[in-house]
Amino acid sequence: MSRPATSFAVRFDPANPGHVLACCGLLELAHRLWGGVEGWFEDSCFAVAVADGPDDHLSALVRKLAHCQIAGLTEEEAQERKELDAIARKQGRRKQVRQLTPEEERRRDELGKKARAGSVVVGHPFNLSLDWWNDAGTPKTWAGQQEMARIARSAQRALHALGDSAELLEYGAVAPAPFYFDARRFVHALDTGFSVDAQGMATVAHPGVELLALIGLQRFRPIHVTEERWTFAYWTWRVPLGVATAAACFAGFVDVPCRTRYRFSLRFRDDQKRYKAFGFARPYGGET
């Protein structure tokens, strides 16, 4: 089967689920920018072919991703929550301050829950709504208190300092605790003596991997391995596929030539199993 000319490529590790999902996220975003794109995995690179667009497709895509709006609550809701939080913070410090009314307390709680569990919108020019974590069958790594849009924006801001777009998946930066899709980021609380999530600490992460994997998971879903509770499977492919067929292949629903199955398990970052991370994957069953 002949392949189209490669428009851009990024280096990746097929045994790192975060890397594979980040490649899927790249394909999703390229599809939304230019349409008619195809992507495929090679030995150490994920390649994308674009029929039209700028000369440097990858740099153009990364710039747009780094500067688009990423929102959880609407602007009005975010401002309302900020004002209610400011009043709540002052209540415990001074006696002569306005107290939140029961209705305001209810509204503040409602907005907080929405910020943590609601959708995240990746705005123009991508116009993509993310809410896959509300699907019980998809592996989620964080506890209920994390605010998705805030962490996504932190990863987005870190991309501003990225130099070479080809190093997108290798670029590391200091940021608040990531989503832990990148298998290189696994840390158990016993290794540090405390939970970095509970402390809200900034750590070195790979923002391109974390943000793109978050996006990729909206369409590309690992399949739960029924005989092992915390284990999931995905497939890579070596022939050019459009985004819809690629997503079906990733989940094992479409049999295409030269595909490889991988399995990975969630790893727990504390003894209460509140926080998880994607572990490294291993080939399972060989190439078909």
pLDDT at residue 176, rounded to an integer:
59
Over 90: is that where the pLDDT of 192 sits?
Answer: no
pLDDT at residue 82, rounded to an integer:
84
Residues 88 and 202 in one domain: no
pLDDT at residue 199, rounded to an integer:
44
CA distances from 169 to 79, 209, 221 (A): 34, 5, 20
Q: What is the pLDDT of residues 256-288, one digit of tens each?
A: 989 999 999 999 887 777 789 999 999 987 666
Q: What is the pLDDT of residues 231-244, one digit of tens each?
A: 999 999 999 999 99
Residues 258 and 196 in one domain: yes
Residue 222: what are its φ and ψ, rounded to 5°? -60, 150
The pairs formed by 63-68 with CB atoms below 8 angstroms and a separation of 24 or more are 64/33, 64/125, 64/126, 65/29, 65/122, 65/126, 65/156, 65/159, 65/211, 66/156, 66/157, 66/159, 66/160, 66/162, 68/122, 68/123, 68/124, 68/125, 68/126, 68/156
Residues 211 and 97 in one domain: no
Highest mean pLDDT among 134-148, 182-196, 227-241: 227-241
If one counts the domains in the chain, the total is: 2
Percent of the chain exceeding pLDDT 70 equals 88
Range of the domain at 224: 8-67+155-287
* Mean pLDDT estimate for the chain: 86
pLDDT at residue 48, rounded to an integer:
97
Residues 79 and 188 in one domain: no
Confidence band (pLDDT; 50, 70, 90) for 189? very low
Over 80: is that where the pLDDT of 2 sits?
Answer: no
Structural contact between residues 225 and 263, judged by C-beta atoms closer than 8 angstroms: yes
Residues 82 and 36 in one domain: no
Does the residue 227 lie in any domain?
yes
Residues 62 and 86 in one domain: no
Does the residue 144 lie in any domain?
no
User: Taking the alpha carbons of 207, 28, 119, 73 in that order, is the dihedral positive or negative?
Assistant: positive
More confident of the two residues 192 and 117: 117
Residues 184 and 250 in one domain: yes
What is the radius of gyration, based on Cα positions, of the chain?
A: 20
Highest mean pLDDT among 31-35, 161-165, 184-188, 269-273: 31-35
Residues 182 and 80 in one domain: no
pLDDT at residue 144, rounded to an integer:
65
| Both structure tokens of 175 | 């940021």
Considering the entire predicted model, what is its pTM?
Answer: 0.83
Residues 167 and 276 in one domain: yes
Does the residue 239 lie in any domain?
yes
Residues 29 and 172 in one domain: yes
Does the residue 41 lie in any domain?
yes
Does the residue 91 lie in any domain?
yes
Does the residue 243 lie in any domain?
yes
Cis peptide before 125 (omega within 30 of 0): yes
Does the residue 129 lie in any domain?
no
Alpha-carbon distance of 280 to 265, in angstroms, equals 8
Residues 175 and 254 in one domain: yes
Does the residue 214 lie in any domain?
yes
Measured at the alpha carbon of residue 202, what is the angle toward residues 196 and 208, in degrees to the nearest 5? Answer: 110
Residues 178 and 229 in one domain: yes
